[in-house]
Chains A and B, each alone.
Chain A
Amino acid sequence: MSSAIQLQNVWKIFGDVPNNISNSIQTETISKQEALERYNCVIGVSNVSFEVKYGEIFCVMGLSGSGKSTLVRHINRLLEPTSGKILINNQDIMGLDKIELEAFRNTKIGMVFQNFALMPHRSVLDNIAMPLEIRGVNKNERVNAATTILKTVELEGWGNRYAHELSGGMQQRVGLARALAADPDILLMDEPFSALDPLIRRQLQNEFIKLSSDLQKTTVFITHDLDEAVRVGHRIAIMREGAVIQVGTPEEIVISPADDYVAEFVKGISKLKVVTAKSIMQKPESDEFFHDIIGHERVHQDIPLNQLIRTVTFHKDPIIVTDSDGVNLGYITQPSLFKSVIEENNDV
Chain B
Amino acid sequence: MMFETNDRTLKNFVRTNTEYYQREFNKIGAKSGYKFSFNVSAALYGPIWFGARNIWNYALAFLIIETFCFVQLVRGSFGDITKDARDKIEKIQSTIDFRNQQLLAAKQNNSDKVEVYERAINSLERAMEGYVIDINTVEESAIWIALSGVFILVFAKFLQGIIGNIILEKRYSDWLSDHSIDPGMTNNHFLLSVIFTAIIMCLSVINYSFPGYLTILDGFPTHPDIRIKSINWVESSFDLAVLKGDALFTTITIGIRSVLDFLELIFVTTPWIVIITAIVVLTALSAGIKTAIYSAAFLSYMGFLGFWEKAMTTLALLGTAALLSIAIGIPLGIFCARRYRFYAVIRPIMDFMQTMPAFVFMIPVIAFFGTGKVAAVIITMIFGGTPVVRLTVLGLRGVDETIREAAIAYGASNWYLLRKIDLPLAAPSILAGVNQTVMLSLAMVVVASLIGAKGLGQDVLEALQYANVGQGILAGVAILFVALILDRVVQGKKRV
Contact = CB atoms under 8 A, between A and B. Distances in A.
Partners in one complex: yes
A118 B410 contact: no
Interface string B303-323: 000000000000000000000
Which 4 A-B residue pairs are closest in the complex by CB-CB distance? A106-B411, A117-B406, A105-B411, A102-B411
B449 to A, nearest CB: 42
A134 B403 contact: no
A131 B410 contact: yes
Interface in A77-108: 78, 101-107
Contacts of A178: 410
A105 B410 CA distance: 5
Nearest to A135: B411
Given A78-B408, A101-B411, A134-B407, 16 more contacts: A78-B405, A106-B410, A107-B411, A109-B409, A113-B402, A113-B405, A117-B402, A117-B406, A118-B403, A119-B424, A120-B403, A120-B425, A131-B411, A135-B411, A178-B410, A182-B410
Given A119-B421, A121-B424, A102 B405 contact: no
Interface string A69-82: 00000001010000
Contacts of B109: none
A328 interface: no
8 contacts: A106-B411, A111-B410, A113-B406, A118-B403, A118-B406, A119-B420, A121-B425, A178-B410
Interface of B: 400, 402-403, 405-413, 416, 420-421, 424-425
Contact of A105 (B400, B409, B424): B409
A110 B409 CA distance: 8
Contacts of B420: 119, 133
Contacts of B402: 113, 115, 117
A6 to B, nearest CB: 20
Interface string A181-196: 0100000100000000
Nearest to A99: B413
B337 to A, nearest CB: 18
B411 A134 contact: yes
Given A117-B402, A119-B403, A111 B409 contact: yes
Interface string A40-80: 00000000000000000000000000000000000010100
A131 B409 CA distance: 9
A198 to B, nearest CB: 23
B405 A134 contact: no
Interface in A110-150: 110-111, 113, 115, 117-121, 130-131, 133-135
Contacts of B403: 117-120
A102 B420 CA distance: 16
Contacts of B411: 101-107, 131, 134-135
Contact of B413 (A102, A130, A188): A102
Contacts of A106: 410-411
Nearest to B416: A134
A223 to B, nearest CB: 18
A120 B404 CA distance: 12
Contact of A76 (B400, B409, B412, B425): B409
Given A113-B402, A117-B403, A119-B403, A78 B412 contact: no
Interface in A25-52: none
A51 B320 CA distance: 62
Contact of A117 (B405, B412, B424, B425): B405
A123 to B, nearest CB: 13
A119 B405 CA distance: 11
Nearest to A110: B410
Nearest to A115: B402
B409 to A, nearest CB: 4
Contacts of A113: 402, 405-406
Contacts of A101: 411
A101 B414 CA distance: 13
Contact of A134 (B400, B410, B424): B410
Contacts of B412: 102, 134
B424 A78 contact: no
B396 to A, nearest CB: 15
Given A118-B403, A119-B421, A121-B424, A130 B409 contact: no
Contacts of A188: 409
B312 to A, nearest CB: 37
A12 B196 CA distance: 52
A134 B417 CA distance: 10
Nearest to B413: A102
Residue in B400, B407, B410, B424 with the greatest tally of chain A CB atoms within 10 Å: B410
Interface string A180-222: 0010000010000000000000000000000000000000000
B425 A111 contact: no
Residue in B400, B403, B411, B421 with the greatest tally of chain A CB atoms within 10 Å: B411
A119 B413 CA distance: 16
A120 B406 CA distance: 13
A131 B406 CA distance: 10
Contacts of B421: 119
Contacts of B413: 102, 134
Nearest to B425: A121
